Amino acid sequence: MSDERPEGIEEYDAPAGGWGALKAVAKAIKEQQVLAQGPLTLLKQNQPDGFDCPGCAWPDPKHTSSFEFCENGVKAVTWETTAKRVPPEFFAQHTVSELWTWSDYELENQGRLTHPLIYDAKTDRYVPIEWDEAFAKIAEVLNALPDPNMAEFYTSGRASNEAAFLFQLLARAYGSGNFPDCSNMCHEATSVGLPMSIGVGKGTVTLEDFDHCDAIFSFGHNPGTNHPRMMATLWEASRRGVPIIVFNPLKERALERFASPQHAVEMATFSSTNIASAYYQVRPGGDVAVFKGMMKRVLERDEQDKLAGGPGVLDLEFIAEHTSGFDELVEDLNGTSWDDIIIKSGLSRENIESAADVYVQAKKVIIAYGMGLTQHANGTANVQQMVNFLLLRGNMGREGAGICPLRGHSNVQGNRTVGITEIPNDAMLDGMERAFGFRPSGKKGNAAIESVEAIEAGHSKALICLGGNFAVAMSDPERTFAAMRKLELAALMATKLNRSHLLIAKNTIILPVVARTELDVQANGPQSLTVEDSMSMVHASRGFLKPASDNLLSEPAIIAGIGKATIGDRYGIDWDWLIADYDRIRDKIEVVFPDFFDFNKRIREPGGFRLDVAASRREWRTASKKANFLVIKGVNEDPRLLQPDTLTLTTIRSHDQYNTTVYGLNDRYRGVFGRRDVVFLNKDDLADHGLKEGDLVDIEAAAAPDDSDSLPRILPRFTAVAYNIPRGSAAGYYPEMNVLCALSHYDKRSGTPSYKAIPVKIRAAAV
Ligand SMILES: Nc1nc2c(c(=O)[nH]1)N[C@H]1C(S)=C(S)[C@@H](COP(=O)(O)OP(=O)(O)OC[C@H]3O[C@@H](n4cnc5c(=O)[nH]c(N)nc54)[C@H](O)[C@@H]3O)O[C@H]1N2
Ligand SMILES: Nc1nc2c(c(=O)[nH]1)N[C@H]1C(S)=C(S)[C@@H](COP(=O)(O)OP(=O)(O)OC[C@H]3O[C@@H](n4cnc5c(=O)[nH]c(N)nc54)[C@H](O)[C@@H]3O)O[C@H]1N2
Ligand SMILES: [Mo]
């Protein structure tokens, strides 16, 4: 590495959290000009009578705690409560073609949308439209489609249970079963993989389980940035002496050491707490190999223990009573070679064995994981191998043990629970019939990738979005953007302007919404919403700020407006009545989904309630009625990744972003300031390519053997940064890197795009 680092790149030695976090908070508040309302707003975050933090889905201790500090929660809230506005005058000044040249950061940083807008082709501008006219236009296009399955209904996981439930009612009553949603790009591998393994697509642990566990394994997540309130849990566990074993290609600072802003002594003395007891830099995509290696070691330890006269280290009673498929697993592990495991994982046998030894020593183990495991062509296999590993010692369905998928958006889990699914089951269809007197179609609809393909092929013509930035979040903007421009209707509910709004369809309408921090008043008075966190806790959320503009409607009100205009009172649905009081929506949710019994009563209790997770009680709702050991052959995800000149690129979030929302251009813990146009590379890989840090490189996606997509996919002129990352891998920011991920590169079982293992080649940039 040269002494001179590229502009904006430096070492960051401080622990995560601490004073750096407090400074960043002050900056966020100042930049969004929220000082007047700000401090008050922040104090209501995750309070019993306040709103649910839109930042992440990590639970809050009973939602009754005093103000819990979280830098990125503050950023999420200040971004929403900003004093900046994008009124119609803004659009009078800027054409859509001009806005297209702005960065994602610039687009959203203009502030909150204030009026419903429709695109005017003559002037290439957005112009204001009345709500009723907007609803009428949407209804006109939808009702003119020859088949309701030509409409796609996208949900981003920030929507409340009430909005999401109404949205699926709208789609199903209209006749469409297409529900692309952000979860398809996120934890779908969990939602598909876990039910096959343990009969439920959700995590099995509660927050209290972390108080009882005696080892934590962390795979592929970056809580210091993305689930900051989890840091309090890890911090406490570490101080209790619980080993925390991390597998992550990048040395994420918060997983190394963290200074708790709540801890006066740590703050005053500039000290910190070590989080990981062992940190293994697995190669992206190497996790199946790691799990298989660790399981081989557990079997070996079992034999050793028995030879020494001990009882062995497997939980044989649990395996016999509760599981199926153990013999097949053993056979597969015996057939998997250490050589393959070592090559694919990039780790030594000793490393993997010592991690497994910690596992064997611990009586109660939790595995927490995020996108590093799910966003792979073998994402479902990753999830299922993880379950196999836990089942070997009965670490499922008992206190202090289990699986903890870290959900993404603050209510993405709830959205799925209340019916956002393209694969409705009979129980749900029966429920809809009970609640609304009609039986929706049970035909499988489109998930995210399928919906882009359908739009591209001209089979789907309308896209209604409940939040999000679908086109930018999706892989392969070249294909995805082109598809969106072929739509007849794009109707987009949003708080802020983003690039998806600039992909102009024949009719393009922006519907600005009341946000979660704001007061939502309907005919019967102020309303509360509900959300479900990563641990299946459902609780109420109530905003209290004055909405960003008088012309906003709540999401349920907009959905009802579209419903009324499109479907009218078909099936006797009284849309106005439903939204006059959200208790009525909740009563309907309860009729469709009996797990929500006494919904309106239980939601008024402090902290809300937990939805039943059968696997937490060792009840396995699988076909075999057992927890299943599931086998996949081998350890290689993609043969392209083993080619000598090919690097495995993983895409990650910076510390200053929320998905496609870029709050700022710093990524403090990784030592990046004021820019995002970088690619992290191992210094030896750089040298092998005849490159050095600071060089401009072109990144090109490697051709796929079975890939019919058009090529090339090139991201030009990114700055190479020498980084502590395994040989043969690379990392860069999402969504800039999405142009490298082919639409056809995804997990064939769950449909999750392979954002975390994209085969690429790098070379000096063409001049
Ligand atoms: N502030 C903030 N909070 C957020 C979000 C945000 O963007 N900003 N997004 C929300 C959403 S929707 C989600 S889904 C979550 C995302 O939360 P995370 O899952 O933490 O998000 P990523 O940045 O994708 O981080 C993935 C981590 O996996 C590691 N990794 C990459 N590839 C691999 C691999 O192959 N194996 C392993 N073991 N590790 C790997 C990366 O180095 C990184 O540390 O956070 C939610 N919360
Ligand atoms: N390469 C790569 N791609 C990825 C990922 C990755 O790790 N790597 N991660 C994937 C994941 S995990 C996810 S979840 C998706 C995210 O996909 P999305 O959920 O579609 O994207 P977001 O960036 O969260 O959406 C941001 C927009 O939501 C709108 N918004 C914000 N708050 C509200 C609200 O309260 N109501 C409404 N109606 N709108 C609101 C704003 O207009 C904002 O511009 O991206 C996926 N894409
Ligand atoms: Mo996500």
Decide which of 579, 603, 627 is a domain's last residue: 603
What is the full DSSP assignment across 32-70?
Answer: TT-TTTHHHHHHTBT-TTSBPPTT-----GGGTPSPPP-
| Residue 634: other Cβ atoms inside 10 A | 16
The verdict on residue 505 lying in a domain is yes
Q: The tokens of 400 are what?
A: 């202090």
- Burial string for 151-165 (b: 16+ CB within 10 Å, else e) reads bbbbbbbbbbbbbbb
- What is the best residue among 52, 112, 156, 227 to mutate for testing ligand 2's pocket, by most ligand atoms within 8 Å of CB? 156
What is the full DSSP assignment across 109-126?
Answer: TT-EE-S-EEEETTTTEE
Q: Domain containing 55: what range?
A: 16-80
Positions in the chain short of pLDDT 50: 1-2, 35-36, 38, 62-68
453/446 Cα distance (integer angstroms): 9
Task: List for the chain the helix, strand, coil content (%; round to 5).
Answer: 40, 20, 45
**400 and 456, same domain (yes or no):** no
Decide which of 53, 80, 107 is a domain's last residue: 80
**CA 156 / ligand 2 centre spacing (Å):** 6
**590 and 694, same domain (yes or no):** no
Closest residue by CA, ligand 2 atom 4: 473
pLDDT at 270: 78
Residue 56 CA: nearest ligand 1 atom is 47
120/96 Cα distance (integer angstroms): 10
Pairing outcome for strands 627-628 and 323-324: parallel
Residue 737 CA: nearest ligand 2 atom is 1
Placement of tokens 């598809």 in the chain: 483
Q: Where are the beta strands (DSSP E) in 201-345?
A: 215-219, 244-247, 257-259, 273-274, 278-280, 323-324
The verdict on residue 277 lying in a domain is yes
- Burial string for 126-149 (b: 16+ CB within 10 Å, else e) reads bebbebeebbebbbebbeebeebb
pLDDT at 681: 98
**71 and 123, same domain (yes or no):** no
Residue 187 CA: nearest ligand 2 atom is 12
Residue 734: CB within 6 Å of ligand 2? yes
**178 and 192, same domain (yes or no):** no
592/418 Cα distance (integer angstroms): 8
- Burial string for 587-622 (b: 16+ CB within 10 Å, else e) reads ebbbbbbeebeebbebbeeebbbbbebebbebebeb
Tell me, what amino acid is at 202? Answer: K
Ligand nearest to the CA of 734: 2
504/113 Cα distance (integer angstroms): 18
Residue 157 CA: nearest ligand 2 atom is 19
Residue 278's beta-bridge partner residues?
Answer: 245
Ligand nearest to the CA of 543: 2
pLDDT at 676: 97
Decide which of 377, 405, 433 is a domain's last residue: 405
Residue 285: CB within 6 Å of ligand 1? yes
CA atoms within 13 A on the CB side of 742: 22
Residue 657: CB within 6 Å of ligand 1? yes
**92 and 51, same domain (yes or no):** no
Q: The tokens of 615 are what?
A: 């696997």
* Ramachandran quadrant class, 559 (left: phi over 0; alpha: psi -120 to 50; beta: rest): alpha
Closest residue by CA, ligand 1 atom 14: 408
What is the full DSSP assignment across 624-640?
Answer: TSSEE------S-S-GG
Crossing angle between the packed helical segments 582-592 and 161-174, to the nearest 10 degrees: 70
CATH label of the domain that carries residue 517: 3.40.50.740
The verdict on residue 44 lying in a domain is yes
**CA 204 / ligand 1 centre spacing (Å):** 20
Q: The tokens of 369 are what?
A: 């994981």
Ligand nearest to the CA of 247: 1
**305 and 390, same domain (yes or no):** yes
Residue 187 CA: nearest ligand 1 atom is 14
Residue 474 CA: nearest ligand 2 atom is 47
**CA 38 / ligand 3 centre spacing (Å):** 27
Ligand nearest to the CA of 410: 1
pLDDT at 671: 96
434/442 Cα distance (integer angstroms): 15
**381 and 261, same domain (yes or no):** yes
Q: Which residues contact 426 (CB under 8 A, 6 or more apart)?
A: 442
- The answer to whether 451 and 486 are in contact (CB under 8 A) is no
- The answer to whether 115 and 509 are in contact (CB under 8 A) is no
**588 and 689, same domain (yes or no):** no
Ligand nearest to the CA of 156: 2
The verdict on residue 3 lying in a domain is no
- Domain total of the chain: 4
* Cis peptide bond upstream of 195, omega within 30: no
- What is the best residue among 108, 187, 371, 655 to mutate for testing ligand 1's pocket, by most ligand atoms within 8 Å of CB? 371
Distances from the Cα of 292 to the Cαs of 95, 287, 382, 384, 743, in angstroms?
55, 8, 10, 11, 29
**194 and 309, same domain (yes or no):** yes
Residue 410: CB within 6 Å of ligand 2? no
In three state form, how does the secondary structure of 354-413 look? HHHHHHHHCCCEEEEECHHHHCCCCHHHHHHHHHHHHHCCCCCCCCCCEEEECCCCCCHH
**491 and 588, same domain (yes or no):** yes
- The answer to whether 116 and 551 are in contact (CB under 8 A) is yes
555/167 Cα distance (integer angstroms): 9
- The answer to whether 186 and 440 are in contact (CB under 8 A) is no
The verdict on residue 717 lying in a domain is yes
Closest residue by CA, ligand 1 atom 6: 658
pLDDT at 707: 59
Distances from the Cα of 613 to the Cαs of 236, 247, 457, 618, in angstroms?
26, 27, 40, 9
| Residue 670: other Cβ atoms inside 10 A | 24
Q: Which residues contact 268 (CB under 8 A, 6 or more apart)?
A: none
Mean pLDDT across the chain: 93
Tell me, what amino acid is at 72? Answer: N
pLDDT at 32: 77
The verdict on residue 21 lying in a domain is yes
pTM of the model: 0.96
**363 and 375, same domain (yes or no):** yes
Residue 108 CA: nearest ligand 2 atom is 44
Distances from the Cα of 587 to the Cαs of 312, 411, 442, 592, 641, in angstroms?
52, 19, 23, 9, 51
**279 and 373, same domain (yes or no):** yes
**CA 181 / ligand 3 centre spacing (Å):** 10
- Element of type H or E holding 342: helix 338-345
The verdict on residue 609 lying in a domain is no
Residue 400: CB within 6 Å of ligand 1? no
Distances from the Cα of 518 to the Cαs of 86, 489, 547, in angstroms?
17, 29, 5
537/283 Cα distance (integer angstroms): 34
Ligand nearest to the CA of 290: 1
Closest residue by CA, ligand 1 atom 11: 408
CATH label of the domain that carries residue 747: 2.40.40.20
Distances from the Cα of 737 to the Cαs of 105, 652, 709, 715, 741, in angstroms?
15, 9, 17, 7, 7
Q: Is 556 helix (H, G, I), strand (E, B) or coil?
A: helix
* CA dihedral for 616, 617, 621, 625, sign (positive or negative): positive
Backbone angles phi, psi at 589, to 5 degrees: -60, -40
419/415 Cα distance (integer angstroms): 7
Q: Is 450 helix (H, G, I), strand (E, B) or coil?
A: helix
Best CA proximity match to 164, nearest among 444, 427, 448, 555: 555
Tell me, what amino acid is at 614? Answer: A
- Burial string for 401-440 (b: 16+ CB within 10 Å, else e) reads bbbbbbbbbbbbbbbbbbbbbbebeeebbebbeebbeeeb
pLDDT in tens, 595-635: 999 999 999 988 899 999 999 999 999 999 999 999 998 88
Residue 493: CB within 6 Å of ligand 2? yes
pLDDT at 66: 37
738/757 Cα distance (integer angstroms): 12
The verdict on residue 630 lying in a domain is no
Backbone angles phi, psi at 252, to 5 degrees: -75, 125
**CA 755 / ligand 3 centre spacing (Å):** 12
